[in-house]
Amino acid sequence: MRNKSIYLLLACVCGTVAAVLASEWLKAQGNQNTTSMVEIFVTTASIDVGEKITAEKIALERWPEDKVPEGASNRLAEVEGKYAKQRLFDGEPIMPVKLMDENWSSVPNGWKAVDMDASDLGISSSLQPGDRVDVVGFFEKGEFIPRSGSQTVFMGIRVFSIDGDTSRRTDEERGKTARFIQLLIPEKDKDAWSYAKELADIELHRASDQDHILEDGSNEAAAKFIAMIEDHRKAEEAEEERLRLEEEEAARAELEAENVADPEVVEAAAVEGFTMFKLVEGRMLEYWIVSGKLPVLIGEVGAPDAEPQKPLTGSLPVQIQQEDDYQRLNGEDSPFFQPPSNE
């Protein structure tokens, strides 16, 4: 009797557990049946970069609403006639962000295809047209570059062609080392490319599928690179101007120091005139001649106790004697002295 009671108790427990499990399963089935479904466009075959999206390559497919990728489209106008920015796989939901209006198998307006030697690029064998890369240059400090080191010149630009072919390579072709690669850069950034190609050793690094184009159409990294060069140029010009002014100031101070040695001379303003030289007893005297004024002695070469002075010519400021000191110009000291005739 006691064993019979135990069996009845176990049966009740098992029944209760089974009922609970069945109830939970029915609830789950009910929730699945109530999940809303939406239609989105998916690819019906793999689509390469630059390939046109046509009605034959897409189809509407029902997906659970909570499983639909963000940005997936169910509007035919958003996908048909567009071109793939990147490779799309069979059955992949189509998102307009992965499409483009123009076929980049030809160079689009506002862009430029530039060549580079790919023989030394280890990454070249794995690249495909349409892939994005960063262009990194290794620069040495110089006229245009303020410091040595690496600098990113372009971010996220596309590979346009490999050995002249804009189509994606097959698995067998991908193992081959490319001879040259063409990259697509904004037309506005051609100077950045010229500087990089001329001054740097260039490497390509794989990049994410993120666009780095600014509102003015230039590449973000290229704009920063050109700004760095321009700032360096302005700094170099400012330094050259500072040195020039220092040299001029030093020359002016040296000239003033030479002419202050004689207490009888003072600095005069620049006046229009000319110099005249007179040889007197082995000494060369230099006079400053101004129309309407007496000649002024401004220099002397060969004086017994004086060092030769630098001649001052033209209309620059000169050192002249005080206007009330004319006794040195009287008699034979005057440049206009004429000896008396013996007749």
Q: Where are the domains of the chain?
A: 1-34, 37-100, 111-232, 265-333
Q: Kind of pairing, strands 37-43 and 58-64?
A: antiparallel
Of 196-205, 254-263, 267-276, the range with the highest mean pLDDT is 196-205
Q: How confident is the model at residue 250 (pLDDT cuts 50, 70, 90)?
A: confident
Which tops the pLDDT comparison, 328 or 58? 58
Whether the predicted pLDDT of 238 surpasses 90: yes
pLDDT in tens, 117-134: 887 776 666 788 888 999
* pLDDT value of position 133: 92
152: burial class by Cβ within 10 Å (0-12, 13-18, 19+)? middle
Whether the predicted pLDDT of 31 surpasses 60: no
* pLDDT value of position 112: 92
Whether the predicted pLDDT of 257 surpasses 50: yes
Of 88-92, 107-111, 253-257, the range with the highest mean pLDDT is 88-92
CATH architecture for the domain at 37-100: Alpha-Beta Complex (3.90)
Contact 202, 78 (CB under 8 A): no
**Terminal CA-to-CA distance of the chain, rounded, Å?**
181
Query: Considering only CA atoms, which of 58, 61, 103 is closest in space to residue 82?
Result: 103
pTM above 0.75, yes or no: no
